[in-house]
Amino acid sequence: MPTAVPPRPVTALRGVGEALARRLNVLGIHTAQDLLFLLPQRYEDRTRVVPLGELRAGMRVAVEGEVQLTEVAFRGRRQLLSRIADGSGSLTLRFFYFTAQQQQGLARGARIRCFGEVRRGAAGLEIVHPEYRRVAADAAADSEDHLTPIYPATEGVTQGRLRMLVGLALQQLATEELRDWLPAELLRRAELPSLRDALLLVHRPPADCPVDALMSWRHPAQRRLAFEELLAHQLSLRLLRQKIQSEPGWPLPGDDRLKNQLLQALPFKLTAAQRRSLGEIERDLERDKPMLRLVQGDVGCGKTLVAALAAARAVQAGHQVALMAPTELLADQHAQNFQRWFTPLNVPVALLTGRQTGRARAALLEGIREGHAPIVLGTHALFQEGVQFGSLALVIVDEQHRFGVHQRLALREKGSRDGRQPHQLIMTATPIPRTLAMTAYADLDVSVIDELPPGRTPVKTVALSETRREEVVQRIRSACLAGRQAYWVCPLIDESEEMPYQAAEETAQALAQALPELRVGLVHGRMPAPAKERAMRDFNRGLIQLLVATTVIEVGVDVPNASLMVIENAERMGLAQLHQLRGRVGRGTHESSCLLLYRSPMSQLGRERLAVMRDTNDGFEVARRDLELRGPGELLGTRQTGLQQMRVADLMRDADLLPDVQRAAQRLLAQWPSHVQPLISRWVGRSEQYGRVG
């Protein structure tokens, strides 16, 4: 059976001490092998030395010449100037940071080769802080034989040092074969090169290598590495699913008495999409394997009600349900909904947050431990130490992309009892395209609620220049005096010199002065929780007519009377966030509008975002365009399973590899199971080991 040889620490390389190792750790380099997978971000062609007489401003080139003069000048600041010539012309090299040793090395008569961007200076063409090295006088024909890689940078580690270290790692690759865990049969099927050939090419591409293919990451060598990384992530999630479902769950029989009571009390009927998703969930709950299901649905499609109906089955069977939300605002919102649905049915609903203290918290924890609280809602406080459940059979996680996999599995561990594991129902209002879902959520079955309740009027979306702010203020006045409510969303709390956007606090003051007849409230993330909750509660009750807020209200705020949403600097926000904010209005029977204020000049990306928002209210279409414009990392959120930290692969660019990746994952697990863990360790590290987090 093949075995993986433990990689040597990076300190085993010549010239790498503890200080340099710490700097390399910032780049994710802990072993010598990690250097091989630190892939270049781009390449520069230094294989041709350009005569100095052919230089033009803006060119990034390799040049060579003899030093004519080097001097220290004081022109506003101390600097080192060196003049080189090659017979066809001359060039100035300018250094603002230099040492005496550098000055000596650039003495008259020295021959140097350097690389950098040519610009126009006071005394002609120059390069500021070029990369350079001394060359022998007879080495004119000695040029680079491969394209020069440019690696991700970190403070204290130069490109030259990184290239030297990668070179050492490549030397070891030639002598100590790096194990290729992809069987030759799979590589032939996918028409991909070996790991060794792929790594050699991406770090040392020959001078005749097609630069366009390299820069667009379409070269077979890059595709080989992207394929392996996607495969490692796919395998890690499949193993996670296998591990979770290897232990029995809590089979919940189809006793629908409580569910039917809840349905009968509703003033409306479920949509076909809600009924379909609920049926899929109920079939999972009847099995003795833990459910692992994601419910995707647009803002306002009724996911929470579907989750409540699933909770009814667990409660009817005598078990507990926990619902985890990412913010206290959203947890409060869910608590209000669940209390409205379940309190008339004599089912207690408890809310647990981090702010609860003293006797009240102790009593609540005891009730949860003894099973007296059948339904418990809360934030991440639910999986903190000291929280114990009497009989937790169903875990519901809202806004999955805001939690890491390890966080929801930590909550799952709270329900581990008598060798059984609770069911998991994951909800997200950030729909993602199927291609991305089958990769990002390979450990989950997916249900889609792709239908909005009847009577919902699409929100009208308009983009306006900030120069029309006064018109927007008048529109708010009209809407609020007609009995409606409005939001005004700002991206920042405080002004800063780097990002001069309207701050929430200043905007609230200005709007209160401009609209003295309206009650203006303020909510942002730095406010104390009680003040934030009071403002949200007052807005919900209609005591505040205009709520100025940061994006803290992106999820969870449900005020049917709010019909107008104003978003400042909308061109700076991502599509998923804009769509979530827009979803805060249009939740009642009134016609609603979303006004996107932008600041000129707008980038091409900003224009495209606003165009998408104007063109569609469909969250799935918005998600598809968001994936095209920004990539999977921002669509999934920063704390997802690690997909957005991929070193090589890009889910949009490499989407065509995914069918082969999934087939390869199935074959590896079936035919070469001993290759699976080494592959995961190479690309994912320990981040897949979420099965036992307490």
DSSP assignment of 501-558: PPBHHHHHHHHHHH-TTS-EEEE-TTS-HHHHHHHHHHHHTTS-SEEEE-GGGSSS--
Q: What pLDDT score was predicted for residue 2?
A: 52
Q: What pLDDT score was predicted for residue 605?
A: 86
Least confident residue range of 157-166, 551-560, 657-666: 551-560
Least confident residue range of 10-19, 163-172, 638-647: 638-647
Confidence of residue 216 (pLDDT cuts 50, 70, 90): confident
Contact call for residues 671 and 189 (beta carbons, < 8 A): no
| Residue-wise pLDDT tens digits, 86-111 | 999 999 999 998 999 999 999 999 99
Cα distances (angstroms) measured from residue 316 to each of 50, 313, 373, 393, 667: 80, 5, 13, 11, 42
Contact call for residues 431 and 621 (beta carbons, < 8 A): no
Least confident residue range of 216-220, 412-416, 564-568: 412-416
Asked whether the predicted pLDDT for residue 318 surpasses 70, the reply is yes
Beta-strand pair 445-449/593-598: unpaired
H helices of 447-503, in order, are 469-481
Cα(597)–Cα(200) distance, integer angstroms: 50
Confidence of residue 583 (pLDDT cuts 50, 70, 90): confident
Cβ atoms within 10 Å, residue 550: 20
Confidence of residue 551 (pLDDT cuts 50, 70, 90): confident
Q: What is the mean pLDDT of residues 475-481?
A: 94
Q: What are phi and psi of 81, to 5 degrees?
A: -115, 130
Q: What is the mean pLDDT of residues 516-535?
A: 85
Q: Hey, which of 297-301, 346-350, 568-572 has the most confident mean pLDDT? A: 346-350
Distance of CA 227 to the CA centre of its chain: 20
Q: What is the mean pLDDT of residues 444-457?
A: 81
Asked whether the predicted pLDDT for residue 501 surpasses 60, the reply is no
Peptide bond into 601 cis (omega under 30): yes
| Residue-wise pLDDT tens digits, 26-37 | 888 888 888 898
Q: Between helices 328-342 and 529-540, what is the axis angle to 10°?
A: 50
Q: What pLDDT score was predicted for residue 694?
A: 26
Contact call for residues 301 and 452 (beta carbons, < 8 A): yes
Q: What is the mean pLDDT of residues 76-85?
A: 92
Token couple for 412: 């799952």
Beta-strand pair 42-44/148-150: antiparallel
DSSP assignment letter at 140 = T
| Residue-wise pLDDT tens digits, 528-546 | 877 887 888 899 889 999 9
119 contacts: CB under 8 Å, gap ≥ 6: 57, 58, 125, 126, 127, 128
Cα(33)–Cα(43) distance, integer angstroms: 21
Cα(350)–Cα(373) distance, integer angstroms: 6
Token couple for 608: 């495209």
Contact call for residues 598 and 571 (beta carbons, < 8 A): yes
DSSP assignment letter at 4 = P
| Residue-wise pLDDT tens digits, 15-26 | 888 888 888 888
Q: What pLDDT score was predicted for residue 589?
A: 77
Q: Taking CA 680 as the corner, what is the angle to CA 383 and CA 187, rounded to the nearest 5 degrees?
A: 150
Q: What pLDDT score was predicted for residue 406?
A: 63
Tell me the CB-side half-sphere exposure of residue 648, using CA atoms within 13 A. 29
The per-type count for the chain, helices as H runs and strands as E runs, is: 24, 21
Least confident residue range of 133-147, 169-183, 582-596: 133-147
As a whole number, the mean pLDDT across the chain is 84
| Residue-wise pLDDT tens digits, 240-288 | 888 877 889 899 987 899 999 999 999 889 999 999 999 999 999 999 9
Q: What are phi and psi of 542, to 5 degrees?
A: 85, 5
Nearest by Cα to 565 from 578, 556, 552: 578
Token couple for 629: 């414009």
Asked whether the predicted pLDDT for residue 553 surpasses 90, the reply is no
Cβ atoms within 10 Å, residue 477: 17
Peptide bond into 453 cis (omega under 30): no
Q: What pLDDT score was predicted for residue 14?
A: 86
End-to-end CA distance of the chain: 33
Contact call for residues 647 and 35 (beta carbons, < 8 A): no
| Residue-wise pLDDT tens digits, 613-653 | 999 888 878 877 876 776 544 444 433 343 446 778 877 77
Q: Hey, which of 309-323, 354-368, 417-431 has the most confident mean pLDDT? A: 309-323
Contact call for residues 644 and 633 (beta carbons, < 8 A): yes
- Alpha-carbon Rg for the chain, nearest whole angstrom, is 30
Token couple for 297: 């649905």
Q: What pLDDT score was predicted for residue 502?
A: 46
Beta-strand pair 423-428/349-352: unpaired
Task: Spell out the domains of the chain, with CATH numbers in brackets.
Answer: 10-43+152-216 (no CATH), 48-143 (2.40.50.140), 257-449 (3.40.50.300), 460-616 (3.40.50.300)
Q: Hey, which of 177-186, 379-388, 673-682 has the most confident mean pLDDT? A: 673-682
Q: What pLDDT score was predicted for residue 68?
A: 95
Containing H/E element for 211? helix 211-215
Q: What pLDDT score was predicted for residue 649?
A: 85
661 contacts: CB under 8 Å, gap ≥ 6: 227, 230, 231, 234, 439
pTM reported for the whole predicted model = 0.68
Contact call for residues 138 and 101 (beta carbons, < 8 A): no
DSSP assignment letter at 491 = S
What percentage of residues in the chain have a pLDDT greater than 90?
Answer: 39
Q: What is the mean pLDDT of residues 459-477?
A: 93
Asked whether the predicted pLDDT for residue 693 surpasses 70, the reply is no
Asked whether the predicted pLDDT for residue 692 surpasses 50, the reply is no
